[in-house]
């Protein structure tokens, strides 16, 4: 079968990191991030365009400097459960932290979403980027990298074990024999590991897709290795075409080295397409958006997230970049370390670091529908992604992409013309995991 592009939608609400000015747009309802009707409309538009999934991000720490969407937004699984009953095909992927959630609770909540949606759930596994979250859970500081990723791997293993608690034929529900459950088909996990002790079993059967799809965003060595070990979908860092191609090849190589089929891990890059009537009109709009969002104080606060929500406003912006390398270990270590290294190498001021981190960079996916479709095809054929996680500032822009770009991709045989499956696994071409207990008994 020829490869097909996968498309997911990542709604912005009133504006996340880097979209500081979005909430001021008159087309954006000021309560969009807490209005379930907003998400339902977005999801239905995506489903009409035959997208694979809706993706909801999350964090559990804020201060007053955080982006507008972060300050007042809905919890992902609650949100997606509501969206599930207003859609029939669209996958529903929610972010939840393996650091600050127990495996049993996560297993039950995602399995419930999977049943509510008829097999369309996915879990985006994160170890938590915002170090301030620790204080919301009774800890003095964020766990170190090794501990967080060790917990993440074990958490996924435990949760998958709990999702297999019932074999698929565990419920004969035979009235004549008075047998609802075949007890030989129910299995306790009895897990004892480095980070968790979980007895099980889970009180919920498997869904039509077997188990929710596991997503992850791996940039560091630990993150990439975790992805190769357990992920079925990846949210990639993006960058230039060459950087995206190198990342794609690296993840596929690690996946094969882990003994898995590289085709069973789908890599999504971020895309914020800007589609205009002409290339010039789209590029002009891209510049306008940058001007709307380019606020130094907000950018300064955004920089602090990668360093454990550090307050950079306490420093002279025109003084040397402060010595904060030690803060990267419990924040966004990979990106933060690169910032520190460059600041030292080039002797940059704090202002220069902020400006360089948020400087205008042309997106490749900007132009007329023809140009955007051409670019997507070029990147796809170059081996940079399996899918694109799309973000649009307004519903009008989503509709414009759906009406203008999607048909061009369909004509080229790069995107589906109808849904061929009812589950998220089906959309992504992923196999239904065999229940471990059934597999053992058959073997």
Q: What confidence tier does 325 reach under pLDDT thresholds 50, 70, 90?
A: confident
Q: For residue 360, what pLDDT is reported?
A: 85
- Segment 346-388, tens digit of pLDDT: 999 999 999 888 888 888 999 999 999 999 999 999 999 999 9
Distances (CA, A) of 360 to 18, 136, 213, 292: 11, 35, 35, 12
Question: Do 19 and 54 meet the contact criterion of CB atoms below 8 Å apart?
Answer: no
pTM higher than 0.85: yes
Written as six digits, the tokens of 367 are 């132009």
Q: For residue 414, what pLDDT is reported?
A: 98
Q: Which residue has the higher pLDDT, 372 or 442?
A: 372
- Segment 45-90, tens digit of pLDDT: 999 999 999 999 998 989 888 899 999 999 999 999 999 999 999 9
Least confident piece of the model among 48-62, 205-219, 237-251, 307-321: 307-321
Q: CB within 8 A of 212, min separation 6: which ones?
A: 110, 111, 113, 114, 121, 122, 123, 163, 424
Q: For residue 183, what pLDDT is reported?
A: 97
Triad 130, 355, 357: Cα angle to 5°: 45
- Segment 88-115, tens digit of pLDDT: 999 999 999 999 999 999 999 999 999 9
Instruction: Please name each of the domains of the chain with its CATH number.
Output: 6-279+364-442 (3.20.20.30), 295-357 (no CATH)
Least confident piece of the model among 146-150, 152-156, 358-362, 371-375: 358-362
For 368, which DSSP code? S
Beta bridge partners of 6: 387
Strands (E), 150-207: 191-192, 197-198
pLDDT reading at 283 higher than 60: yes
Taking the C-alpha atoms of residue 22 and residue 28, their distance in angstroms, rounded to an integer, is 8
Question: Do 351 and 317 meet the contact criterion of CB atoms below 8 Å apart?
Answer: yes
């Amino acid at each position: 079968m020829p490869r097909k592009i996968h498309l997911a939608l990542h709604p912005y609400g009133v504006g996340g990191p880097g979209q500081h000015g979005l909430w001021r747009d008159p087309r954006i309802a000021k309560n969009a991030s807490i209005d379930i009707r907003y998400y339902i409309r977005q999801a239905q538009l995506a489903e009409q365009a035959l997208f694979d999934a809706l993706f909801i991000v999350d964090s559990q720490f804020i201060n007053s400097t955080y982006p507008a969407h972060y300050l007042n937004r809905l919890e992902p699984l609650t949100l997606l459960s509501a969206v599930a009953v207003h859609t029939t095909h669209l996958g529903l992927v929610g972010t939840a932290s393996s650091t600050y959630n127990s495996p049993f609770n996560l297993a039950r909540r995602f399995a419930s979403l999977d049943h509510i949606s008829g097999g369309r759930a996915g879990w985006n596994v994160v170890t938590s980027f915002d170090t301030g979250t620790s204080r919301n859970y009774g800890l003095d500081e964020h766990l170190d990298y090794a501990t967080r990723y060790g917990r993440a791997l074990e958490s996924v293993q435990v949760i998958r074990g709990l999702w297999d608690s019932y074999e698929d034929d565990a419920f004969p529900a035979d009235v004549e024999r008075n047998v609802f459950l075949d007890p030989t088909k129910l299995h306790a996990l009895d897990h004892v590991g480095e980070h968790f002790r979980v007895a099980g079993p889970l009180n919920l059967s498997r869904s039509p897709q077997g188990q929710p799809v596991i997503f992850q965003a791996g940039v560091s060595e630990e993150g990439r290795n975790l992805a190769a070990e357990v992920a079925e979908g990846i949210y990639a860092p993006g960058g230039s075409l060459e950087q995206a191609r190198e990342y794609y090849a690296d993840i596929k190589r690690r996946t094969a080295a882990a003994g898995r089929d590289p085709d069973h891990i789908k890599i999504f890059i971020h895309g914020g397409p800007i589609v205009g009537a002409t290339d010039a009109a789209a590029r002009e709009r891209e510049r306008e958006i940058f001007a709307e969002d380019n606020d130094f104080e907000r950018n300064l606060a955004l920089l602090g997230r990668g360093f454990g929500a550090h307050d950079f406003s306490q420093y002279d912006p025109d003084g040397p970049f402060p010595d904060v390398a030690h803060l990267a270990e419990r924040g966004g270590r990979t990106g933060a370390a690169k910032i520190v290294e460059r600041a030292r190498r080039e002797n940059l001021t704090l202002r220069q670091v902020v400006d360089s981190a948020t400087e205008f960079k042309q997106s490749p996916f900007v132009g007329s529908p023809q140009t955007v479709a051409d670019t997507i095809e070029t990147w796809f054929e170059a081996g940079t992604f399996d899918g694109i996680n799309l973000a649009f500032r307004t519903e009008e822009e989503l509709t414009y992409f759906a009406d203008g770009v999607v048909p061009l991709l369909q004509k080229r045989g790069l995107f589906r013309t109808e849904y061929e499956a009812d589950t998220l696994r089906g959309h992504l071409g992923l196999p239904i995991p065999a229940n471990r207990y059934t597999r053992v008994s058959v073997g």
